Amino acid sequence: MIAEGRVALDGVVLDTPATILQSLNGVTVDGEPVAAPAAARLFLYHKPPGLLVTERDPGGRKTIYDQLPDDLPRLVPVGRLDLNTEGLLLMTTDGELKRQLELPATGVERAYRARAYGPITQEQLEELIHGVEIEGIRYGSINANLERRTGANVWIEMILTEGKNREVRRVLEYLGLKVSRLIRTRYGPFLLGDLAVGEIGEVKQHDVVSFRKDPTRKGGGEAPKLVEKPRPQQRGMQQIPSAPKAPIPKPQPARRITKTSANRADKAAFAEPTRQAQPGRDPVVLTKATKVKRFYDAKPKAGTGAGTEPVAPRAIAPGQRPKVFSPELGRNVRAKPGRTATPTEAAERKPAKATPRTAGKARAAPSKPARVKIHKSRTRK
């Protein structure tokens, strides 16, 4: 572009690229001013195991770009993670920010959690604070701590600042351990946190600016804003737009009911039985007044009221016995057929005359005749 004479500075066409610029002010391309560079954006990606951190693979294996949403800008990874390593991977749109994060001279810490198989002690891990040389490669200071043991496996936390190729695995293999799982949990002040596997979130702009001012600070700031991946539409299914939601009415404050307002509403209801309640004035929703039924308002039965003729008894069919009240059963029963009593039975049924009592003397109870037992089967009076 410079050789073609398309770039100019303050109206003068540049003929050499060896030009130092303090800013882009006055620089034009084909007569159009060059826009200011966009602000750097930083993303946190929870890389799952089994993906390569590269744009394309000649062997046809899956990469992280096959799993990222399509609406993201062009992103470059900060550092790399192995095929079987999982956890936090930073991705940015700015090459200068990428270089600042990767340089060991910046002193940005990386934190890992490793699950390994084999015997190890905390004293052996503390020796790594002075660094170690393996096969002619010098690895810097590593802060390693034994978290816990689960059977023959151990969980180890390691914090380092260099991030050389396969550094964690090689150091633990040097100590006689076999790494079965490796997770990166932190990169500088940015934490993996609750970011689910395969999700990506964008860091707030003010956190990016504060990091560039102080790269060695700790603390993750605010949680990243998640970027949702669009769901693929099923074949043969037509997406129907959802109906607009109706606005939710605001709840009205309940009106306080006092004794005076309740009495006033009762009087108005009985004075105007057909009046409907007014929500804005009546504290209670009233309906049509109902008159209370009292015992003296009951209607008399037919034939029993005043001014009516007595009802004649029901006629008895021929051969049917009338009903009489039985005090023992407490109800009406059919009378038994009558039989003419003999003169002897009539005399026996006549009640005996009562004997007059003498004042001051109690009537003696009749004595029972004594019985004398003379035989098992006979008795004599």
Q: Averaged over 341-357, what is the pLDDT?
A: 59
Residue 307 has pLDDT above 70, yes or no: no
**Cβ–Cβ < 8 Å for 87, 55:** no
Tally of structural domains, the chain:
2
Confidence at residue 320, expressed as pLDDT on a 0 to 100 scale: 74
Q: Are 131 and 156 contained in the same domain? A: yes
Residue 99 placed within a domain: yes
User: What residues are labeled active site?
Assistant: 82
Least-confidence region, from 54-63, 72-81, 166-175, 343-352: 343-352
| Residue 190: closest CA among 293, 87, 261 | 87
Read off the CATH number of the domain in which 153 is found.
Answer: 3.30.70.1560
Confidence at residue 123, expressed as pLDDT on a 0 to 100 scale: 92
Where is the domain boundary, 228, 251, 281? 228
Q: Are 125 and 142 contained in the same domain? A: yes
What are the percentages of helix, strand and coil residues in the chain, rounded to 5? 15, 25, 60
Residue 131 placed within a domain: yes
What is the radius of gyration, based on Cα positions, of the chain?
A: 54
Confidence at residue 299, expressed as pLDDT on a 0 to 100 scale: 57
Residue 286 has pLDDT above 50, yes or no: no
Where is the domain boundary, 173, 204, 228? 228
Residue 28 has pLDDT above 60, yes or no: yes
Residue 289 placed within a domain: no
At 92-113, the pLDDT tens digits run 999 889 998 988 888 899 999 9
Q: Are 76 and 204 contained in the same domain? A: yes
Q: Averaged over 245-256, what is the pLDDT?
A: 73
CA distance 186 to 209: 18
Torsion of CA 64, 67, 73, 78, to 10 degrees: -20
Where is the domain boundary, 138, 156, 187? 187
CA distance 80 to 187: 12
Confidence at residue 158, expressed as pLDDT on a 0 to 100 scale: 94
Residue 224 has pLDDT above 70, yes or no: no
Higher pLDDT, 230 or 185: 185
User: What average pLDDT does the structure give for the chain?
Assistant: 77
Residue 131 has pLDDT above 60, yes or no: yes
Q: Are 98 and 153 contained in the same domain? A: no
Q: Are 48 and 165 contained in the same domain? A: no
Confidence at residue 162, expressed as pLDDT on a 0 to 100 scale: 86
Q: Are 169 and 207 contained in the same domain? A: no
- Do the bridges between strand 86-92 and strand 178-187 make them parallel or antiparallel, or are there none, so unpaired? parallel
Range of the domain at 174: 109-187
Residue 146 has pLDDT above 80, yes or no: yes
Backbone angles phi, psi at 287, to 5 degrees: -115, -175
CA distance 110 to 76: 18
Q: Are 76 and 116 contained in the same domain? A: no
